[in-house]
Amino acid sequence: MVTFDQFLKLGLALPHTTERLTWETEVTLRVGEKIFAMGNPDSGSVCVKARKEDQAELLAADPGTYSVAPYVGRHGWVLVRLATVDAEELRDLMTDAWRSIAPKRLIKDFEAENGAM
């Protein structure tokens, strides 16, 4: 089980990530103005940006943990159930989401520091 606070900690550990309350109830994780993950602390789930191919794989592999996110799911976003997701898997998913929106120089610096992950 992953808590909402752990979700935030995973996201904020990524370079130049900021947290912002949006739409009055959603905490969004961003690089600049681009969102890569979001959630409501009371919902028990979070949304993470993913490629459509990755979304399909996640849903097929574990439909109890992953589902198509409301509103943004048509773009690949995944709704992740915190009670059943593995912390390492969520970290990897969030890192991939961060990479999809971060500037290339940030990604290059991150990979030089942490390996290609």
What are the average pLDDT values for consecutive 10-residue runs of the chain, which has 117 residues?
96 96 93 96 96 96 96 96 97 96 90 72
Residue 51 token pair: 């490629």
pLDDT at position 23, please? 84
The DSSP line for 41-86 is TTTSEEEE---HHHHHHHHHH-TTTEEEPTTTGGGT-EEEETTT--
User: Angle at the Cα of 8 (from 103 to 57), degrees rounded to 5?
Assistant: 70
Cα pseudo-dihedral 48, 52, 57, 63, rounded to 10: 60
CA atoms within 13 A on the CB side of 7: 29
In this prediction, residue 116 carries a pLDDT of 59
Predicted pLDDT of residue 112:
81
Query: Residue 69 CA to chain centroid, in angstroms?
Result: 12
Q: What are phi and psi of 38, to 5 degrees?
A: -160, 160
